[in-house]
Amino acid sequence: MKKSYSFWLFIGCLIAGQLVLAGMKYPAPLYSTGDVVEAHGKLRCKDCHAPFKRVASESCSVAKCHPEGKIGKKPAVIDLHSRMKGKDCLICHTDHLGPKGKITKVMDHDAFKSSKCLDCHSGEGDKAHKEKYAGDCSECHNTKKWKEITFNHARVSARACLDCHNKVPKDDMHEMGAIGGCGDCHGTKAWKPSTYNHDKYFFLDKDHKVTCVKCHDARSYKKYTCMNCH
Amino acid sequence: MKIVVNRLAGLITTVFLVFGNAILIEQMMDLYGVRGHRLLTGIIGTLLVILSFGYSMRKKKLFKTGGMKGWLRAHEWLAILGTVIIFVHTGTHFHGIVAIITLIFMLTAFISGLIGRYVYDNVRAELRLKKANLKKGGLSDKEIEENLTGLATASESLSKWRLYHMPVISILGVMVVYHAIAALYYGGFKI
């Protein structure tokens, strides 16, 4: 029997109507785009979602969930969030990626164009930065990865290496002092690997495979003697 | 028999190509960290499919711009492109009963559309025999082509096919509206 479009549209509305009714009782299975993270498992949809407004940050910061000033466990994280007051939580966070889902996204710096780097990146550990490099952060850092640093040593050529690289390994080589300075072994492109070339000063052939102190004074590599053997 | 096998193979290939391309595009977007494309692809895909219904409107003579053949081609390609984009919107994530039901109807409508295309081709092949007669009637090539397209769409086989295609399209229309309202209700308008 031939039915018109209106008939089938009516049938479609009947199906949709039944789903709407079911959705009023069980919204999550009907509309959820994925399971929420374990910690959010007991929440109802309307606890976070406001009609036609996605998730308002106010829903997150209610007293029983993530009250302002108490977000995070590590002091640096708590500090960071307290400085983010008033920002949209969804810039960095998401959900519905499964019970074990990673709900912190890669930071979208574009959302903070009006802010300065130091509005957020100004923890205790950055004091050293402030004192030595008060300039533009983007000279060394990018917004994709904080640890992907491209340090320009030309900016600090007048400084002694030890002003910054003050965590010198406690071994003979470093404690006694290098022959010509840090630059003998280290480059400015990468601190590791170091490339000290002993052959430049004395070729260590098979008869000279001995410990450092056999030839060098224990207090300085600049001093040496052959008399311990010859 | 050979024709049926060939056409079935064509149909399956098209479905796989559409699905494969959509999944590939979606994976590439994930790989390059493209975010917020779900709402946008959903809207664009749906608009393209809606636009493809210009053919139905032209067929019902709601307007007379352009030839039937051109509108039919536009209907096919806009629907295919829209479907690819909607599958990008869906990606490989199947959650939410409403979204899944809408997707099932979308897929059924797409396959039904492809079957319709093959039914149409068959009808046209039959009608080609009538072409000679029309030519004898003194019509120009363009007029004959339009005539054939008109006759083909009005054929009995296509009417039968429409009996199945129409319910799917109608219910799909309702489900798309419902899915969109539900998605905006919970997800908001922000892309």
For residue A18, the chain B residue with the least C-alpha distance is: B98
Are A139 and A152 in contact by the 8 Å Cβ rule? The answer is yes
pLDDT value of residue A114? 65
| Residue A15 forms contact with B (CB below 8 Å) | yes
Give the tokens for residue A149. Answer: 């640093």
Residue A69 region, left (φ>0) first, then alpha (ψ -120 to 50), else beta?
left
CA B93-B185-A113 angle, to 5 degrees, is 80
Nearest to A53 among B166, B182, B188 (CB): B188
| Residue B103 forms contact with A (CB below 8 Å) | no
Partners of residue A35 in chain B, C-beta under 8 Å: 95
What is the per-residue pLDDT across A172-215, written as a single tens digit (0 to 9) for each?
A: 677 655 555 777 778 777 767 777 778 888 888 888 888 777 88
Higher per-residue pLDDT: B174 or A171: B174
What is the per-residue pLDDT across A55-72, written as a single tens digit (0 to 9) for each?
A: 888 888 887 888 877 788
Higher per-residue pLDDT: B37 or B153: B37
pTM recorded for the entire structure: 0.68
Phi, psi (deg, nearest 5) at residue A223: -100, 140
Across-strand partners of A49?
A55
Nearest to A5 among B166, B175, B185 (CB): B166
Higher per-residue pLDDT: B62 or B154: B62
**Parallel/antiparallel/unpaired status of strands A216-217 and A220-224:** antiparallel
What's the ipTM? Answer: 0.75
Which residues are CB-neighbours of B130 under 8 A, at least 6 positions away?
A: B148, B151
Per-residue pLDDT for A227 more than 70?
yes
**In angstroms, rounded to a whole number, what is the distance separating the alpha carbons of residues A143 and A107?**
8
Nearest to B171 among A11, A49, A96 (CB): A11
CA distance B137 to chain A (A): 35
**In angstroms, rounded to a whole number, what is the distance separating the alpha carbons of residues B113 and B126?**
20
Range name among A22-26, A112-116, B139-143 with the lowest pLDDT average: A112-116
